[in-house]
Structure 1
Amino acid sequence: ATAAYTDNILDDFTYYGMDYIHDKYKVDTKNPNAKDKVKATQEVVNDIATEVNLYGMEQYEQFPTMMEDHFGGSQRAAVLAAASGISTSIATGNSNAGLNGWYLSMLLHKDGWSRLGFFGYDLRGPVRFLQLTLHQTRRR
């Protein structure tokens, strides 16, 4: 899905993510600063990507015309994943964290709606997190 075909839905989901990371993590998304970045941990990825993805899924369910506009599950999956990945990348300043946010969104989408859609999304192998080097938090 490209922005030209998402009818500002991708924008809405991404702006929700920007508001979320601004409110929760105090990241100034309008004036990026290296000091504002959140440490890229799997917990942060899980938090941001899950929040943005669930917001998007709720919007699709609340407004059926959005579901009709993105008639294929694969387009919905791509829009949700893009918003989750963008929000995570901006919060952490780490593209690998954003990629993990993308994959987590795909897992949440498949878990919530049982499939990712046609156009080959369901034909691919299982979606997994990459073995990316993120800062691990110690469990106590």
Structure 2
Amino acid sequence: MRLPRLIFLLFNADRAVRRWIDARSGDTGIGASGAGVLFYLAGHENALIGDVTAALGASPSGMSGLVNRLERGGCLTRSQDPADARAVRLALTPRGHQVVIHARGLVDDLNEQLTAGFDDAEIAVVQRWLEHVTRVSVQREERLG
């Protein structure tokens, strides 16, 4: 029996979701990755950049570029941690808070569209599978790292 092409479908779905969010970001200029940073900061104000990087599973170099763009866009500020001069903290600006509200509306709309036609049990299986994919990937990275 041939296995389903789950990896191919997962990559295609990821690209489609990112394109959908990016196309609807409007004048914010904040795409899917930027929205992830802002969502995290909305729940963890004045977070260490390392914590944001870890929470999003990003690379330090990728996060650095993303934070630079978000700062230039007026969505966040960075400051030195008073307890550790080497550490950098990130905080949302008023514009950042507005962008979070806009992005949450987009994500809520997309979630409604993605779950339409599926019952709660089916969605629970999809959610469990996606969480499983993440766990397997993290465990593999830890073994290799």
Q: Same fold by TM-score, threshold 0.5 exceeded?
A: no
Which one has the bigger helix percentage?
2
Please give the TM-score of this superposition, normalised by the length of structure 1: 0.28
Q: Return the index of the structure with the highest Cα Rg.
A: 2
Which one has the bigger strand percentage?
2
Higher relative contact order (CA 8 A, sep 6+): 1
Please give the TM-score of this superposition, normalised by the length of structure 2: 0.27
